[in-house]
Structures are given as C-alpha cells and as structure tokens.
Amino acid sequence: MNQPLQPAPLNNDAFKSQRQLTMVIYALYGAGYFLGGIPAIVAIIINHIKRNEIKDPMLVSHFTWQIRTFWITLGLCIFGALTALLGVGFVIFFAAMIWNIYRLVRGVLNLIENKPMPTPHP
C-alpha cells in the first residue's frame, strides 16, 4: 500500500543541499535547449552519480522523474530522427520537446513547493 511521503525538515542542511542540487539539475536540463544539449548530458550524469546519496523520499521522486524524463525524451527523439524521412519524425520530435518542457516546468514547480513527483505504478 502506498504511504504518503514524509517531507524532510527544511532546516536540515543535507536536505537543503540536496534540494539545491535537484534544482541545479533541472536548470541544466533547461539550459540544454540553448546550449546544444551538453548541459543535459551533464545533468543525467549527475543524476546517476548522486542518486544513491539522496535519502529524502520527495527528492528521490524528483531524481526518478528527471532520469525518466531524460531517457524517454532521448528515445522519442531517436525515434523521431529515424522516422523523419517519412515526414512524421518532425511531429514526434516536436511533441517530445513539448512533453520534455512540460515535465521540466512541472518538476521545478513541485520542487519549489516541496511536493514529490508522481511515480509510475507497476
């Protein structure tokens, strides 16, 4: 049974540091749109390196959200590139970009409000 996530105390220095890192990672993903994707690659590397250090359930949900967003977007972009010659690839690529921006904005807004991200149910 799913239990609600318990927020970490906001005066906890480790929590504040990890929350700030999570926000920096969102910023790197966003900067990837303007800097050729390199910041997004840096962000996914940080996500994978730091994932096991994040203990707060709310922040863990954001890390999972960020990682899933990156890999699903990459998969959709590859699929879009492969189908570009058929004419539908550009639509897929555009839809992936809009979906990615939506997930980044939703993640940042939830992080600002100290809310967890939804997790997929198996």
Q: What's the pTM value of the predicted model, to 2 decimals? A: 0.86
Rounded distance, CA 12 to CA 31, Å? Answer: 29
Rounded distance, CA 103 to CA 59, Å? Answer: 15
**H helical segments located in the chain:** 13-31, 38-50, 57-82, 89-112
Task: Return the pLDDT at 38.
Answer: 96
Q: Token digits for 69?
A: 């967003």
Q: Is the dihedral of CA 57, 61, 67, 68 positive or negative?
A: positive
Q: Token digits for 8?
A: 């970490």
Task: Return the pLDDT at 1.
Answer: 44
pLDDT of residue 11 exceeding 70, the answer is no
pLDDT of residue 43 exceeding 90, the answer is yes
- For residues 92 and 80, the answer to whether their CB atoms sit within 8 Å is yes
User: What letter represents residue 13's amino acid?
Assistant: D
- For residues 78 and 53, the answer to whether their CB atoms sit within 8 Å is no
pLDDT digits (tens, 9 = 90+) for 58-97: 999 999 999 999 999 999 999 999 998 888 989 999 999 9
- SS3 for 84? helix
> How many residues are there in the chain?
122
Rounded distance, CA 41 to CA 86, Å? Answer: 28
